[in-house]
Amino acid sequence: MILLVVEYSQGKVSKSTKEMATAARGMGREGPITLLVLGSGVASVAEDAALFADQVLVADKPELAQYDPEVWASAVAQIAKQGEAHTVLIGGSRSGREYSPRVAVKLNAPLIEDAITLTDRNGVLVAAHYTFLSRVTETVEAEGPVSVVTVKPGAFAASQPLTAAAEQYDAELELPQPRLTVTGKTAEKTERISLADADLVVSGGRGVDSPEGFQQLVVALADQLGAAVGATRALVDAGWRPYSEQVGQTGKTVQPKAYIAVGISGAVQHLSGMNKSKFIVAINKDANAPIFKIADYGIVGDVHQIIPAMITELRK
Partner 1 sequence: MRMLTVIRQVLDAEETVSIQDGTVALDGRKLVLDTMDEYGVEEALRLREAGAEGAEVVALAIGPARTEEALRSALAMGADRAILVETNAPLDVIAVSSVVAQVARSEQVDLIFCGGQQADWDSQALGAATAEQLEWPQTTWTSALALQDGMLTGKHDVDAGSESFTLPLPAVVTTQQALNEPRYPTLPNIMKAKKKELRRVPLGDYGVSPKLRIVGVEVQVKERRRNIIDGKDASAAAARLVDLLRHDAGVIG
Answer yes or no: are the C-beta atoms of 250 and 269 closer than 8 Å. Answer: yes
164 interacts with partner 1 by CB under 8 A: no
CB atoms within 10 A of CB 65: 10
- Stretch 221-260: interaction string toward partner 1, x if CB under 8 A: ----x-------x---x-----xx----xx------xx--
Nearer residue to partner 1 within complex by CB, 130 or 214: 130
Q: Is the dihedral of CA 245, 247, 251, 257 positive or negative?
A: positive
Task: Write out the binding residues for partner 1, residues 51-70 only, by CB under 8 A.
Answer: 67, 69-70
Strand partners, 4: 35, 89
Rg (CA), the chain: 21
Chain Cα centroid distance, residue 171: 26
Residue 109 interacting with partner 1 (CB under 8 A): yes
For residues 191-210, which are near partner 1 according to CB under 8 A? 199-200
Binding-site size for partner 1 (CB under 8 A) equals 93
Q: Between residues 160 and 250, which has the closer beta carbon with respect to partner 1? A: 250
Sign of CA dihedral 214, 215, 219, 221: negative
44 touching partner 1, by CB under 8 A: no
E-only strand ranges, 63-176: 87-91, 111-115, 117-121, 124-131, 136-142, 147-151, 167-170
* Residue 269 touches partner 1, criterion: CB under 8 A: yes
Find the shortest distance in angstroms from Cβ 163 to partner 1.
31
Question: Out of 105, 160, 209, 211, which residue is the one contacting partner 1 (CB under 8 A)?
Answer: 105
- Rank residues 19 and 113 by Cβ distance to partner 1 and give the closer one: 113
Minimum Å gap between C-beta 177 and partner 1 is: 10
Distance CA 271, CA 277 (A): 10
Which residue of 10, 182, 191, 288 would you call a contact of partner 1, by CB under 8 A?
Answer: 182
Task: Rule CB under 8 A: say whether 111 interacts with partner 1.
Answer: yes
